[in-house]
Amino acid sequence: MLILGIETSCDETSLAIVGDGKKVYFNELISQISKHAIFGGVVPEIAAREHYKSLFVLLELLEKNSNIKIKDVDAIAVSTEPGLIGSLLLGLTFAKTLCMIYNKPLIAVNHLYAHLAAANIECNLEYPYLGVLVSGGHTVFFEVKDEITYMVLGKTYDDAAGECFDKIAKMLKLGYPGGPLIDRMVKEATSKNKININFNWRNKWGNNVSFSGLKTSILYYINGQNLQKPRELSQSEIIDIAYTSQEIITDIILDKIVNFVKKYDFKNIVVAGGVASNSVLREKVRNLEDGKRKVFLPSPKYCVDNGAMVAILGGFYAKKNIFSPLDSECRSVFC
Ligand code: KG4
Ligand code: ZN
């Protein structure tokens, strides 16, 4: 069974063809980072216009570079929630148009579930598992009972983990998106020290997490009480702040994982989404693996937004004959 996956929920346009639930025949993306970087974050209007251009470029590339034509696929899957509404609408309209032209069934998928489903590409997932979705817009802990059943166990009260990385990087004037920049800078630093900030996170928030307090503590650490007059930071201070922030963000996530594993006795853990490419988080989570517990981490190219993850999840629905009506709609929020 061949599934076309379409991803346009935020600032990456991607198309993919996945066969038999696993084999990736095509998975290309066009990133919009350079278009948004000058604004320090994603501009929704620009994102939608870029998807409009990139979808057609990718479709041409797909038909040229893979031996597969859209007429040969069995179904067309597309992310329809959550995300930027204009961007989601572009992807859904594109998907519906292809469905009508080629008489294919449509499969509307949840972008967050798709991130977790990406872990199936490189390994054989065992169910149930603790699904940890850490991205730029969301941080959610799921119990994933089977390929299509996702139950929320906890989530962030405010900022997502990736958003916290991005906002702290912005305060440090590192650029956008901040997560990979902080990760690389800290890895390359020969000397790094923990800074003392006023932020307590241990034994808080029950099943949920919160990152906005960390962001505020860093802001006050940099500027003192005088927020009107930002302080110039030395390079070593920038490294120390980035290092400390990365340690705290990854420890908050790790601590929740450990609690969930204890509470529900999960034997399998999947960590996915953009922040799952963070090298420190990957190492900390891998250390949880033992004779009793397995950890599954998609490789970084399947952690960022990509069409393959949408096609994989679409394939799970198609296998069960679950399709979506052609008047399906998009939703910006996850509830
Ligand atoms: O999943 P994703 O590609 O898009 C959303 O669905 O949001 O995640 C993007 C987020 C951004 O906040 C970015 O800074 C973060 O993932 N990210 C990272 C790393 N690579 C991407 N955060 C920390 N370390 C990284 N290496
Ligand atoms: Zn995403």
Residues with CB under 6 A from ligand 1: 10, 135-137, 162, 165-166, 177-180, 183, 273-275, 277-278, 304-305
The residue whose C-alpha atom lies closest to atom 3 belonging to ligand 1 is 304
d(CA 234, CA 239): 9
pLDDT (0 to 100) of residue 179: 97
Ligand 1 center to 68 CA (angstroms): 31
Mutate to test the pocket of ligand 1, among 30, 187, 275, 332 (most ligand atoms within 8 A of CB): 275
pTM over 0.85: yes
Q: Can the peptide bond before residue 44 be classed as cis, meaning omega within 30 degrees of 0?
A: no
Partners of residue 242 on adjacent β-strands: none
Return left, alpha or beta for 269; rule: phi > 0 is left, psi -120 to 50 is alpha, else beta. beta
Mutate to test the pocket of ligand 1, among 171, 304, 309 (most ligand atoms within 8 A of CB): 304
Query: Which residues of 237-280 form beta strands (DSSP E)?
Result: 268-272
Ligand 2 center to 274 CA (angstroms): 6
Ligand 1 center to 178 CA (angstroms): 8
The per-residue pLDDT string of the chain (335 residues; one tens digit each, 9 = 90 and over) reads 999 999 999 999 999 999 988 899 999 999 999 999 999 889 999 999 999 999 999 999 999 999 899 999 999 999 999 999 999 999 999 999 999 999 999 999 999 999 999 999 999 999 999 999 999 999 999 999 999 999 999 999 999 999 999 999 999 999 999 999 999 999 999 999 999 998 999 999 999 999 999 999 999 999 887 777 778 899 999 999 999 999 999 999 999 999 999 999 999 999 999 999 999 999 999 999 998 999 999 999 999 999 999 999 999 999 999 999 999 999 999 97
Helix axes 279-286 and 178-188, enclosed angle (nearest 10)? 80
pLDDT (0 to 100) of residue 324: 98
The residue whose C-alpha atom lies closest to atom 21 belonging to ligand 1 is 274
Listing DSSP states for 158-180 in one string gives: SS-HHHHHHHHHHHTT--SSHHH
Q: Which atom of ligand 1 is nearest to the CA of 163?
A: 12
Helix (H) or strand (E) segment spanning residue 249: helix 235-264
Partners of residue 78 on adjacent β-strands: 6, 108
Using the structure block, give the residue that is written with the tokens 């990456």: 12
Partners of residue 81 on adjacent β-strands: 110
